[in-house]
Amino acid sequence: MNLSTIKTFYIDERVQIIAVDSQGLIISSDNIIFDFKANEKIEDQHPFFYALLPFLAEKNTKETFPCINLNIDDKQKIVDITILNKDKQLYVVLTDFTNHYLYSQPLVQEKNESVIAKNKLKFEKELLFAKEEFKNNFLAHLNHEIRNPLNALLGFAELLGETSLTFQQKETVGVLQKTGAHIKILLDDLLDISKIESGVLQIKEVPFNLQSVIASMTKHFQVKKNNSNIELTYETDEDVPAKFFGDPTRINQILYNLLENAYRNTKNGAIKLHTSLTEKALDGSVSVQFNITDTGEGISEQQIATIFDSYIQLQIEEAKPLGEGLGLKVVKDLTTLLGGSVSVESKINQGSTFTVILPFKTRDKKSKRKTVPKGSGIVMNKRILAVEDDTLNQMLLMKQFIDNDKGYSLAIATDTVSALKLLNDKKFLAIIIKQKYASTTGIEFLGELKNNPKLTSIPVLVVSGKSMNTEQEAILNAGASAFLKKPYSKSQIFSALQKL
């Protein structure tokens, strides 16, 4: 079979036929693509052909090697190379696919990049989810591990402050209480940021009195900062309604953090909280503006750009071991969550004004409280059962309930088994439990209470350092009446019991 016969199989002008012997010696070539001379070795034309010699020695071979880059006599081509053994004659067939490969390569590359980008996005989402899950688990564990000892520290510090102390001892106890309270605020802020970012923070819609929130807030700071050289005042325009629907806890949190920030950055002068009405609609909804103005150190333009970010701290002259906190980040996130806005204007050494605008729904009707008429003859059972297996917490509870002005008497069960025995023997006004015991859980204990017709009506207060939103919901859904997170004060636990 000669070259013309082989050409019938390869009619494309981009095909070159080379006849060779089993040793790779060129017999003839049509030189359509490259110039190959007879009686020369094919491996001398390009190093790739050296790899073909073992195939040339085989009988009835047909092998194809796609997409081979050949550079011969300054001619660059991308070819497919096929070895044919026909009628005892060997042929090396070069098919020029240069244009095809040059055209398809960007398409393949684009497709590969698209697949890579898609997989990268999927990986990044999985990584983000894993990071978020790790962060939430870490925060839940950290929250519980810190709140339990912090509750004991603040509880005993409060009890110590009620004893006869020297002036110096009272100051020391005061520092302990302030430091513990600050740690508690940081914990709450950290958890709130996490809840807001994960979208699980719940916003309530309840009736409240705005003037009461503001008056209580300013009174708190006036007492708390009574030794400072700063005068705190508040003013509310006459057209601002007092009764609204909203979340007073979150509003209180926003104003608290802004006033705390104002005190932190003001050494002398004044702080003012001014409340005004910016918008009033026919449906009864209004927009209320809160301006917190201080005469402090001021904020630079560069700092204003990042002041609401997490972990950003202002540059201040005096070292503050407790840090600047996360309050402004919480303010920004809560304000956005409530559908409002927050901004700041400031001048160095002249002071700052933080402006918060929040939407509210007004209310007109007065809610009536149900009360027990005087002289009705109802005598309340004031016996409380606390189920606590930690000796330190037992001691703290006993000391908190001694000589309390609410008339509560406390009984302590060291485990759930003895608690059930006491509950069956005596009547109790309420039960205080926690989420985890040595041999069972609070949820399992609640199940036992609810399955007992005699005990199912007794209200249960859960006191715990595990205060993540999912943990609270789980035990409340199991039948608990209320949840009180650690650390708590005497007044808080008595207030929670009264609400039951």
pLDDT higher than threshold 50 for residue 156: yes
Q: Is the pLDDT of residue 199 over 70?
A: no
Residue 174, helix vs strand vs coil: helix
Residues 470-483 have pLDDT tens digits of 778 888 888 899 99
CB contact at 8 A, 499 and 483:
no
Higher pLDDT, 195 or 225: 225
Nearest to 135 by CA among 472, 486, 468, 484: 468
Which tokens belong to 166?
């020297």
Closest to 265 (Cα-Cα) out of 192, 348, 202, 198: 348
What is residue 236's predicted lDDT score, i.e. its pLDDT?
92
- Tell me, what DSSP letter sits at residue 189? H
Predicted local distance difference test score (pLDDT) of residue 4: 57
Residue 83 has pLDDT above 70, yes or no: yes
Mean pLDDT, residues 428-433 taken together: 93
Interatomic CA distance for residues 194 and 182, integer angstroms: 18
Q: Is the pLDDT of residue 95 over 70?
A: yes
pLDDT of 441 strictly over 60: yes
DSSP H/E element including 216:
helix 210-224
Q: Residue 148: which of 388, 383, 320 has the closest Cα?
A: 388
Q: Which letter does DSSP use for residue 348 in this model? A: T
At residue 300, does pLDDT exceed 90? no
Q: Hey, what domains does the chain have and what are their CATH numbers? A: 3-96 (3.30.450.20), 121-198 (1.10.287.130), 206-362 (3.30.565.10), 383-499 (3.40.50.2300)
100-109, 201-210, 235-244: range with highest mean pLDDT? 235-244
Given a cut of 50, is residue 356 above it in pLDDT? yes
pLDDT score for 197 = 61
pLDDT > 90: percent of the chain: 25
In this predicted structure, the answer to whether residue 173 has a pLDDT above a threshold of 80 is yes
Cα–Cα nearest to 341, from 291, 283, 285, 271: 291
